[in-house]
Structure 1
Amino acid sequence: MASGCQAKEPPTQVVYRFDDHRYLELKGWDCEGALWYTDTQRGIHSEAVSQFYRIFTKKYVHPSERYIAIPTWHSPGSIVSKDYGKTWHPSSFSPGENEPNGDNAPPYDDILSFTVVNDQGFLQTKHRLYMSSRPFDDPRLLPGGKGIHYELPDGVQGDIKAGTGGWAWGMVYMTKQGLKDTVQSLQTNWGDQPDKVPEVKGYTGWDHMQCDMDAGR
């Protein structure tokens, strides 16, 4: 005899809308599971996080389209795409003293908002503004570039050779305090960083993620 008891498929619900054609879906129970990104205009449907994603509870504003950064609940890091959501990779925080107490990353409770605009991410906390680099790599460090010779305030000198520039654009978040007197401060994509989150006008998406804990029950 066939059993009538079959395991229910976990529910899928839209937990964030960027605009009328881009959104995030969570597939799982109790607001935790796999996170999928969809762009109906570009025909993109990709898995950003395979399991255990929990929604970000702070303010989240994201008009940017090419560069997409999805914050996580259990840590202030994010999952990043630089190709309109086709592929995804984890971002990180720069080593060094980004926080007043010397830590390199903020605790979740200190986060106020995450804004992604003009292909650049801005994480505002109670004490600091974290940001990704501007959305390009320093041409001097690309293959065939001339490299960068540097001398830091402590007298240390060196050369960054083309092809060994380290962080790709958009993959590392740091503060102006952490940037000061570092090799990264010499790179053009880290120059002229703002002191506050850029103003966003005309945004039609959601400003927080949403999730129904009882979905599928």
Structure 2
Amino acid sequence: MKKLYSALAALLLVAGCQAKEPPTQVVYRFDDHRYLELKGWDCEGELWYTDMQKGIHSQPFFQFYRIFTKKFIHPSQRYIAIPDWEVDGFMVSKDYGKTWRPVGFAPGHNEPNGDDYAPAEDVLSFTVVNDQGFLKTKHRLYMSSKPFEDPRVLAGGPGISYKLDDGTEQVLEARSPGWAWGMVYMTKQLLEHSTQQYKTNWQGLPDKVPEVKGYTGWDHMRCDMDAGR
């Protein structure tokens, strides 16, 4: 009977541990009123965004999120982009964190190994400033477009005329303008082969990550593996 009671007690203990609410911890602070929280065991789980001033509490990632471990500088407020551990894309908000959508890397094979996104081990930093994101890797600089749409390809616009190498004239029409601003990350090298180069929000892009001064947020995400133990 003692053995039976011991076994039952062990089972109850295990069940109690399994039923325990996962811990929630702040893993990144943008400033004194905006931050990211991770809810889950062993630094993996749901990711929540909070803006106390605007009263926003939203969920960019619903499960299996693991923090981005490289340098992360993010003073931008309207446009928010959050990478994960694998750095194979981002969750992006263009309305101060109210709603979120996934975005991807360059839609062509742009990396030295032939991939269309940067391997996680090659990533050096991610900076989001002035509503534009910049992912720096060992080989490339990926960036989103400038934060506006070219009026020529908005509804009712005249479109954008351009010529192919053989002189054939084409039109980038309002009904099929390509990606909306901030919703794809491209390199300047790949942009040369894309019709997006004719849109004003993809022109005059920098060759390096813009310098950020006076940033008061964290420069890396942080997570305690033993939280809740």
Same fold (TM over 0.5): yes
Task: Pick which of 183-192 and 96-105 moved more.
Answer: 96-105
**Unpaired stretches in structure 2, ≥5 consecutive residues:** 1-11
Aligned-residue Cα RMSD (Å) equals: 1.4
- What's the TM-score once normalised by structure 1's chain length? 0.95
Conserved 8 A contact 1:75-1:108: yes
User: Aligned to 1:185, which of 197, 202, 209?
Assistant: 197
User: Aligned to 1:54, which of 66, 71, 76?
Assistant: 66
1:152-206 deviations in whole A, cap 9, x for unaligned? 3354542121132120100100001010132111010000000000000000000
User: Aligned to 1:64, which of 66, 69, 76?
Assistant: 76
Corresponding position of 1:34: 46
Q: How many residues align?
A: 215
Distance apart, 1:101 and its partner CA? 4.0
Conserved 8 A contact 2:178-2:196: no
- What's the TM-score once normalised by structure 2's chain length? 0.90
Conserved 8 A contact 2:105-2:184: yes
Q: After superposition, where does 1:11-160 map in structure 2 within 5 Å? A: 11-153=23-165, 155=167, 157-160=169-172
Query: Quick one: which amino acid aligns to residue 67 of structure 2?
Result: I
Distance apart, 1:121 and its partner CA? 0.1
Conserved 8 A contact 2:88-2:104: no
1:34-81 deviations in whole A, cap 9, x for unaligned? 000000000000011000000000000000000000011123311100
Distance apart, 1:124 and its partner CA? 0.2
Corresponding position of 2:184: 172
- The structure richer in strand per residue is 1
- The structure richer in helix per residue is 2
Distance apart, 1:145 and its partner CA? 0.6
Counterpart-to-counterpart distance in 1, 2:226 and 2:82: 23
Percent same amino acid among aligned pairs? Answer: 72
Conserved 8 A contact 2:161-2:170: yes
Aligned in 2, Cα 1:105/1:155: closer, same or farther, shift over 3 Å?
A: farther
Q: Please identify the structure whose Cα radius of gyration is greater.
A: 2
